[in-house]
Amino acid sequence: MIRIKLDVMMAERKMSLNRLSELVGVTPVNLSVLKNEKGKAIRFSTLDALCKALDCQPGDLLEYIKGEVNEED
């Protein structure tokens, strides 16, 4: 299972969802879907914009959890 650690990165950077939305160019609703791990995919352009806005690497936002299964699987 892939975990999205967007909430952790936002908290560490003290960044609100609305501010991140402005910086990334993605609606707050779509960011919320990612943040709450309800999304099924992420575009590389969105991942790139998130890394730029949060000054991080993709691995800071994504984590592979071995043995866990997505609820939809």
Judge contact between 9 and 24, C-beta under 8 A: no
> For the residues of 4-35, what is the DSSP string, one character each?
E-HHHHHHHHT--HHHHHHHHT--HHHHHHHH
Could you give the domains of the chain? 2-64 (1.10.260.40)
**Neighbour-count burial of 31, counting CB atoms closer than 10 A to its CB (0-12 exposed, 13-18 middle, 19+ buried):** buried
pLDDT number for residue 70: 63
The CA distance from 4 to 60, in Å, is 9
pLDDT digit string, tens, across residues 4-19: 999 999 999 999 999 9
pLDDT at 38 over 60: yes
pLDDT number for residue 47: 97
pLDDT digit string, tens, across residues 17-27: 999 999 999 99
